[in-house]
Amino acid sequence: MIKRREFLKRAGLGAAAGAAAIAAPAVHGQATVNWRMLSSFPKSLDTVYGGGEVVARKVSELTGGKFQIRVFAGGEIVPALQVFDAVSSGTVECGHTASYYYVGKDPTFAFDCVLPFGMNARQQIAWMYQGGGLELMRDFFREYGTMQFPAGNTGTQMAGWFRKEIKTAKDLQGLKFRIAGFAGQVLTKLGVIPQQIAGGEIYPALEKGTIDAAEFVGPYDDEKLGFYKVAKFYYYPGWWEGGPQVSLQVNIKQWETLPKEFQAALETACAFANQDMLAKYDAKNPVALRRLVAAGTQLRPFPREVMQACYDAAFDIYDDLAQKNPKWKKVYEPWLKFRDEQYLWFRVAENNFDNFAFTAKRTGKK
């Protein structure tokens, strides 16, 4: 019971408890603090960009307006994919971004977001809060003068929009594919030419034919970005994004200047945003998918042959990195153990329930 109560407090599922812990008298005498938060996402995406706004709003509410954070969209201060650099250098206090955008610096960044054939959203949350993930990633981020807080999750994503059908692994060869994070390295082994492009720049690249395919998040966001207008085949699942986490990256020196009450407010706000974003996507994606199909979108599952080839390529890379990169190995080994244990449990109860319930028909009833 003690561990469970500690988890609920840290995860922010009981927002009222977090608010009560930051009593009004504790912040009443504090001077007002003003921070800037950079987002890697365009303002048009009220879910993922909105996650940063949720953090800012909750922090203000929990501190009686004494801690204010102003959110800037990608490109307003720095390019969307340079948020981490701005936070690390101290240009801004914090940034709301997907850590896998920065695997070019070190592939270990991917663990703070998602790895191909990794964990789903619930498993990622469990690993972070109860499986040692948060501590491992904090140790890693400290080397860059930053720390991070889980502050959003999209749930399992779609595999994206393609101009042509993908029937075999050979169809991937030469494909110019907008894809972020670690998945680009996996697909390179299968002949794909990965392109890392910020969310707001994907549509014109797909429209002009600069790229042949693009993935971003899922039906709700993809509909807003208009991808269905320029590519008709919508593939699933996004095996590289089973439960991608969006993080608030914070400059450590700036964090250390905050009063403890403000630190608690920020941690609580991020945990609330982590759950809130997932709930929004789960609520909005189904109706958006119906609209896309009605507009002519053609849903396609990735063939098992393609999935297996990608799976094999992914773990070949992981094993190779474990031999060459000590930072990767330090996180990978406990991550893999936790992932495998989660898979065992989910196969027993979750998977059997889901498989039956999703396909069951009401006997004798409509």
pLDDT tens-digit profile of 283-318? 999 999 999 999 999 999 999 999 999 999 999 999
Q: 294, 324, 307: which is closest to 107 by C-alpha?
A: 324
Least confident of 27-31, 77-81, 321-325, 361-365: 361-365
- CA dist 292 and 296 (Å) reads 7
Indicate left, alpha or beta for 45 from its phi (over 0: left) and psi (-120 to 50: alpha).
beta
Q: Which residues pair with 160 in a beta bridge?
A: 235
> What is the pLDDT averaged over residues 318-325?
98
Pairing state of beta strands 245-251 and 146-153?
antiparallel
> What is the pLDDT averaged over residues 26-46?
89
Least confident of 18-22, 211-215, 268-272, 350-354: 18-22
362 within domain boundaries: no
Mean pLDDT of the chain: 92
The H or E element spanning position 323 is helix 304-324
Where residue 128 sits, what CATH number does that domain have?
Answer: 3.40.190.170
Domain enclosing residue 27, as ranges: 2-153+242-283
pLDDT at 4 over 60: no
7 within domain boundaries: yes
What does the pLDDT read at residue 17? Answer: 44
- Check: CB of residue 81 under 8 Å from CB of residue 101: yes
What does the pLDDT read at residue 11? Answer: 45
54 within domain boundaries: yes
Contacts of 56 (CB under 8 A, 6+ apart): 37, 68, 69, 70, 71, 269
- CA dist 326 and 157 (Å) reads 30
Q: How confident is the model at residue 364 (pLDDT cuts 50, 70, 90)?
A: low
Residue 71 phi, psi (nearest 5): -100, 135
pLDDT at 145 over 90: yes
Q: Give me the number of domains the chain comprises.
A: 1
Q: 335, 156, 346: which is closest to 240 by C-alpha?
A: 156
85 within domain boundaries: yes
> What is the pLDDT averaged over residues 274-290?
98
Q: How confident is the model at residue 28 (pLDDT cuts 50, 70, 90)?
A: low
323 within domain boundaries: no
What percent of the chain clears pLDDT 90, i.e. is strictly above it? 88
Q: Give the torsion sign (CA, 242, 248, 252, 256).
A: negative
230 within domain boundaries: no
**Length of the chain measured in residues:** 366
pLDDT at 264 over 70: yes
- End-to-end CA distance of the chain: give it in Å, rounded: 43
User: Using N-to-C axis directions, what is the helix angle for 350-359 and 326-348, rounded to 10°?
Assistant: 50
Q: Which residue has the tokens 């009593």?
A: 23
What does the pLDDT read at residue 26? Answer: 60
pLDDT at 23 over 50: no
pLDDT at 366 over 90: no
Q: Give the number of other Cβ atoms within 10 Å of residue 65's Cβ.
A: 11
222 within domain boundaries: no
> What is the pLDDT averaged over residues 251-260?
98
Contacts of 147 (CB under 8 A, 6+ apart): 138, 141, 249, 250, 252, 255
Q: 39, 32, 14, 80: which is closest to 258 by C-alpha?
A: 32
- For residue 63, the 8-state DSSP code is T
Least confident of 18-27, 163-172, 239-248: 18-27
How is 251-298 classified by DSSP, letter by letter? Answer: EHHHHHHS-HHHHHHHHHHHHHHHHHHHHHHHHHHHHHHHHHHHTT-E
231 within domain boundaries: no
Least confident of 181-185, 186-190, 264-268, 271-275: 181-185
pLDDT at 3 over 50: no
- CA dist 80 and 96 (Å) reads 10
What does the pLDDT read at residue 14? Answer: 46
Which pTM does this prediction carry?
A: 0.89
What does the pLDDT read at residue 239? Answer: 96
